[in-house]
Structure 1
């Protein structure tokens, strides 16, 4: 039997290890530090989105109701409170957006994305369409959007390697 001193050291190591496991370990080789935030990395995992009911043709013909995208807009606002890059990461991970980009023409997908961004700016920043389009075309937004796109490409590539 180990001495009381050794037993105490073992118990302390076990206690420390259990605490580390409860708190979660930092992700090794994180692609970008902003992805350490669960609000930014996979922000829609807990959101119920039925992609089978999504009708892009109806949106093209009649426009969309911003209320249907409230989960996206709220997540984007939370991301924007961290940084513009975080907001772009949230936006690009939206499952409906991923579906539109995968299944529709590039022009249709771009129009849809622009529409979402314009509505978002109108709701949270009181921008009219011209101001929102100017913001989307700004160097700051374009740089954050392009960086977010690259980060997600790297993340996807890494996930494919693991599976």
Structure 2
């Protein structure tokens, strides 16, 4: 588990980023029309996520409990009902995922992301791991994921 100082720093960064993301939201729809939808744009603003207690090393060593990520999976399901691109936008805005990508090794972050996506597909689409991996590897998913990443880069570059 991270030291109390590191946990406090993470919590401060998360709060600052959440505040920054709330400021100027009206402009985000100019980046992409999907961002006009509050279920897609900052879908976790009202979810209480304590990043200071998140222990990535424990997840690496022991795996994760899907129940702890129910808020993510439910938001992804709503996004997927809109479009695959909307689901990818929701996924990439999850604060825990943002923290992992920012602070962990690239390979570990990718493994974590794959684990989340595979678990999501298993829960909501009753897919086994191989089928879920094929879906993640599909051109349709890769295109939507890359487009979502670009949309969010533009959004954050505008400071919205």
Instruction: Give the TM interval when normalised to the shorter protein.
Output: 0.7 to 0.9
Counterpart contact for 2:29–2:35, Cα < 8 Å: no
- Where relative contact order (Cα < 8 A, 6+ residues apart) is larger, the structure is 2
Unaligned runs of at least 5 residues, structure 2: 1-25
Alignment length, in residue pairs? 135
Deviation (angstroms), 1:30: 1.1
Sort the Cα spacing of 1:39 and 1:141 in 2 relative to 1 into closer, same or farther, 3 A: same
Match of 2:156 in 1: 156
1:95 is aligned to 2:98? no
Match of 2:5 in 1: none
Sort the Cα spacing of 1:140 and 1:47 in 2 relative to 1 into closer, same or farther, 3 A: same
Match of 2:60 in 1: 60
| Cα distance in 1, alignment partners of residues 73 and 29 from structure 2 | 29
Sort the Cα spacing of 1:28 and 1:59 in 2 relative to 1 into closer, same or farther, 3 A: closer
Match of 2:106 in 1: 106
Q: Secondary structure of the equivalent of 1:64?
A: coil
Deviation (angstroms), 1:36: 0.7
- TM-score norm. by structure 2 comes to 0.82
Unaligned runs of at least 5 residues, structure 1: 1-25
Q: Secondary structure of the equivalent of 2:82?
A: coil
Q: Secondary structure of the equivalent of 1:40?
A: coil
RMSD: 1.3
Deviation (angstroms), 1:72: 0.1
Question: Max radius of gyration: which structure?
Answer: 1
- TM-score norm. by structure 1 comes to 0.81
Match of 1:81 in 2: 81
Match of 2:16 in 1: none
Q: Secondary structure of the equivalent of 2:43?
A: coil
Where has structure 1 moved over 3 Å in runs of 4 or more?
A: 26-29
Match of 2:18 in 1: none
